[in-house]
Structure 1
Amino acid sequence: MIHAGPAVSCVALLGADLPGLRPRLMCDQGSHVMRGQTLFHDRLHPEIVFVSPVSGVVESITLGPRRSLSALVIRLEVGQHEPDPITMPMSSATEVRAALLAKGFWPAFLTRPFGRIPAPDAEAEAIFVTMTPDNPHAPDPRVVLADEQDVFTAGLKAVALLTSGKVHVCQTPATDIAAGLGDRIRGAFFASGGASGLTGTHIHRLHPVGPGRSVWSIGYQDVLSIGKMVMTGAHDFSRVVALTGPRAREPRLVRTITGASLTELTGGEALPDPRGLPPCVLSGSATSGRRAAWLGRYHQQITLLDDVPSRREPSAKGLVKRLCLVSSRPAPVIPTAALESALDFGVPVIPFLRALSVGDAETASRLGCLEMVEEDLAAVSLACTSGADYGRMLRHVLDELAEDA
């Protein structure tokens, strides 16, 4: 069952979701914007626009290093007129591409290699639709898509026009959601949870990538949003997320909006702590999520945990170790069975982690990093004795390789 989430007054577009992007702003602080209105576009590819998920007022714009985006916050305005839906022709690859770019849905796609938004004229050898939960607490896609199969099918057919290759609908074993949609839209079945639920694992097994080979991935809720755009012309940026974690008072599925304020979404949702400490709020799962104030663009889970100390304690383990601020150099990497089994890409784990640790992009590429993004290394970071965040190291390497590509 899906519950209506708490009303939020603010949403944000986050630079953390957009690696490598340099925005050219089309609005100012204090600007009144409508749902679907362009807020900024990519300086390198002006055709890629980022639109407002709500109608309201731009409350703040924070830029990071080299004028990268940190956060653009919009405060909702109650009673503001919503724009009328505008349908666009989407019966050919050219029309679908133009519509997704114009309406701000192009950023729903991410490339492998590099985990970036594809160029507006790029071609994918295949497209992967991810419907496999990466942990037992993630939303069940079949629950989210209940009563909306026709809309989801419309989205799948539109997405399929963007590639001459296969569209792999990666799902858990059950009735094939992609059945009867033609030879190019195929169901692929993986167990839920762990590495088998990650897009990187699907790509590695079905269509490995590397230099000169590129595929795209997209989440099933974005495909659903594209289907709604096809059928109604409306911008729909709603999200069904799982509210979970040991501090969650009532774990459940809630419907909210991408970029929603986690402070407002989780207000009153946490169990009290004997020490009076507030919960640690993660956007994402306990394995790969990040401590945040806003719901990430690609996240489908909010996790409430016990808060962590402000500095690493010698006894800290697992997620606590990763979230704590490390004040000293990382500990040595000790090969263990858990570490060797934490990476499901057939790469030699220890040499690979050493290459990431020293920023050796050439060796990391040769060992297989082009198939991965940060979430693929979350389990490695938890299992490793060093306490290092290998997802962050991987991002630095991928960005370097992307600039040289």
Structure 2
Amino acid sequence: MEDKVVCAVLPGFKTDQSAPPEQVIDNGAPVERIALLGADLPGLRPKFTCAEGDRISRGQPLFCDRAHPEINFVAPLSGLVDSITLGPRRSLSALVIRVEPEPDAPAPQRVAASTAAELRTMLLAQGLWPSFLTRPFGRTPAPDVTPDAIFVTATAEGPHAPDPRVVLEGRHEQFRAGLKALALLTAGPVYACQNSGTDIAAGLGERIRGSFFPAGHASGLAGSHIHRLHPVGARTMVWSIGYQDVVAIGSLIETGIADFSRVVSLSGPRARHPRLIRTSIGANLQDLISDDILPGRDGSAVSVVSGSALTGRPAAWLGRYHQQVTLLDDRAAQKPEPGTGWLAKLRKPSSRPGPIVPTSALETMLGFDTPAVPFLRALSVGDAETASRLGCLEMLEEDLAAVSLVCTSGADYGRMLRHVLDELAEDA
């Protein structure tokens, strides 16, 4: 069954006018270290099963969720636990692994996952359960929860994102095996959200539905798909998952081996050869891009962003859910000049946000049928009740990146949204 969905595209909205990456996959440079990041796991309180200095194997559990010990977080590669750093309230900041050569891989063997119980047990034990994110709240789902629907994001977030159809070449059978497995986890639909082309979910049954969205930033985000097809609220929960994680699930079922590789696009004005590269979740970005940085025209340093220029974050490590690495000129130390475009706006200090001026751009960028100004004011003052009533439960930080860019206040509404969502999650 195929759904054709019309979703708002941001008109004339460009954040990076550098060359798009060549849609050919190369192997990325070897990385010496990888990391599991607390920034990807809001609300998690880890219980460690390893210590600094321990030698660990790929797929070995490193820690679990203290609230749900069944949820394991495992090593993407073999190596030595280099460091474990904690944040506020003993939350995880980063667990760093110094990568060592892999031992011989075990012989592939098909895993029993023909029932929902078998599949859940496998995903929880093998470290793929964190592939799912809940709406509302954007957290790893509890092991015993059944979503009302599951959304597979197989759309390109923007012109510099990997083309999912290129990434899936040669892996369609594993992807389809993963899609069929997802249908065991919900009694509702599984939406395979994609851009134009042949339906990658065709022939998999009534509950696995191909849904098409036009290319563009907002229309490439899971929040837009969920808002258009299956809105959530206080009593409705859906899960989202990226298409590469669906491939990993299918691969695990067919081979018994968890795949933590990731194809990401390398792009931006400082990228020497914009292209797609295969690396590992949590890869050290300095190792990954060391030979791919163009010199700055004015001698400026490079700013390395995990994710896109709009929705990503300056980082030393590849985020768990990111599929882009963007190399920008680092202008943080330079005085912004009026009219220098999106980058100057992105760097604008926001410790004392200015007033919110109603504009048509605000309404266009939000795109959730929500009155923009009252909603942003509620986020600005931390009014969780009003923000919830106006629709924040459908959103995550990435959904507000464009709003932050065009709003006259200069505020980071993604950060404000996270504070409100965490408060609402604690009260749920």
Q: TM-score, normalised by structure 1?
A: 0.97
2:264 counterpart residue number: 241
Equivalent of 1:257 in 266, 280, 290 = 280
Shift of 1:335: 1.4
1:368 counterpart residue number: 391
- Quick one: which amino acid aligns to residue 79 of structure 2? G
Root-mean-square deviation (CA, aligned residues, Å) is 1.4
Shift of 1:271: 1.2
Instruction: For 1:5-404, list aligned pairs within 5 A.
Output: 5-78=28-101, 80=103, 82=105, 87-310=110-333, 313=336, 315=338, 317-326=341-350, 328-404=351-427
Shift of 1:78: 2.3
**Residues matched between the structures, number:** 404
Q: Percent identity among equivalent residues? A: 64
- Quick one: which amino acid aligns to residue 192 of structure 1? A
Q: Deviations over 1:5-31 (max 9, x none)?
A: 111111000000000000011111111
Q: Which runs of 5+ in 2 are unaligned?
A: 1-23
**Residues 347 and 84 (structure 1), Cα distance of their counterparts in 2 relative to 1, 3 Å cut:** same
Rounded Cα–Cα distance in structure 2 between residues aligned with 1:232 and 1:244: 33
Q: Which runs of 5+ in 1 are unaligned?
A: none
Task: Identify the range of structure 1 (214-223 vs 185-194) with the bigger mean alpha-carbon deviation.
Answer: 185-194
Shift of 1:85: 5.4
Q: TM-score, normalised by structure 2?
A: 0.92
Shift of 1:277: 2.0
Rounded Cα–Cα distance in structure 2 between residues aligned with 1:281 and 1:188: 33
**Residues 4 and 144 (structure 1), Cα distance of their counterparts in 2 relative to 1, 3 Å cut:** same
- Quick one: which amino acid aligns to residue 379 of structure 1? A
SS class of match (1:218): strand
Shift of 1:147: 1.4
2:8 counterpart residue number: none
Q: Work out which structure has the larger RCO, using CA pairs closer than 8 Å and 6 or more positions apart in sequence.
A: 2
Rounded Cα–Cα distance in structure 1 between residues aligned with 2:165 and 2:135: 26
- Quick one: which amino acid aligns to residue 218 of structure 1? I
SS class of match (1:62): strand
Rounded Cα–Cα distance in structure 1 between residues aligned with 2:426 and 2:230: 24
Rounded Cα–Cα distance in structure 2 between residues aligned with 1:81 and 1:321: 50
Shift of 1:220: 0.1
Shift of 1:324: 4.9
Q: Deviations over 1:64-108 (max 9, x none)?
A: 000000000001112545566565310011111110001010000
- Quick one: which amino acid aligns to residue 399 of structure 1? D
SS class of match (2:366): coil
Query: Are the equivalent residues in 2 in contact too, given 1:311–1:324 (CA < 8 A)?
Result: no
Query: Are the equivalent residues in 2 in contact too, given 1:322–1:388 (CA < 8 A)?
Result: no
Rounded Cα–Cα distance in structure 1 between residues aligned with 2:356 and 2:277: 40
Shift of 1:317: 4.9
